[in-house]
Amino acid sequence: MKTRSIIDTEFVVRSIAETAIENEAAFCELDSIVGDGDFGYSLARGFEKVLEEWDVYDRTDSSVFLQKIARTITSRLGGTSGPLWGTAFLRASSAVRGLDTVGGADVVAMLRAAIEGIKERGKSDVGDKTLLDALVPATDAVEAAVAKGSSFEKTVEEAAKAAREAAEATSSLQARRGRASYTGERSIGSPDAGAIAVAVILERLSTLSRAR
What is the pLDDT averaged over residues 180-188? 58
pLDDT band for position 182 (cuts 50, 70, 90): very low
Q: List Cα–Cα distances, 4 to 1, 100, 108, in angstroms.
A: 10, 9, 18
Q: What is the DSSP letter of 150?
A: -
Domain boundaries, the chain: 4-211
Question: Is this prediction's pTM over 0.75?
Answer: yes
- How far apart CA 151 and CA 26 sit, in angstroms, is 31
Q: Does domain 4-211 have CATH number 1.25.40.340?
A: yes
- pLDDT at residue 120 is higher than 80: yes
Quote the pLDDT of residue 175: 72
- Spatial CB neighbours of 56, under 8 Å, sequence gap ≥ 6: none
Quote the pLDDT of residue 178: 61
- pLDDT per position as a tens digit, 92-116: 999 999 998 999 999 999 999 999 9
